[in-house]
Amino acid sequence: MVGAGISTSAGIPDFRSPGTGLYANLQKYNLPYPEAIFQIDYFKKHPEPFFALARELYPGQFKPTICHYFMKLLKDKGHLRRCYSQADPMLGLLGFGGGMDFESDKAYR
């Protein structure tokens, strides 16, 4: 089971860290509140902020960390049966998938 911490060192922000978290840095989108960027009712009226954020966070512009490569090594050697991740696009870049992981970033693939 992995959390946001393995990707923050790669430059991908977590959601709630004061000062560096995603929600702390959404002022440029002029949202009524930070979570609005992920709510369907707000998106239907104002899709631009979500797409701008998605462009910033799109997989491919970040490099996997040593932790990601260690997990891949464990997987390649058959020592990792499952990987539970909240939303880590780096895992997809390293070939996780095919029933091994349960992520919420499938929309990026």
* Alpha-carbon span 25 to 98, nearest angstrom: 34
The one-digit pLDDT tens for each residue of the chain (109 residues) are 677 777 788 887 777 788 877 888 788 889 999 899 999 999 999 999 999 888 887 767 778 888 888 888 988 898 887 777 765 666 666 666 644 444 444 444 4
| Residue recorded with tokens 């970040």 | 62
Three-class DSSP category at 85? strand
Phi-psi region of 85 (alpha: psi -120 to 50; beta: other; left: phi over 0): beta
1-109: CATH number: 3.30.1600
Residue 5's contacts (CB-CB under 8 Å, 6 or more residues apart) are: 14
Q: How far apart are CA 94 and CA 62, in angstroms?
A: 12
Domain ranges of the chain: 1-109
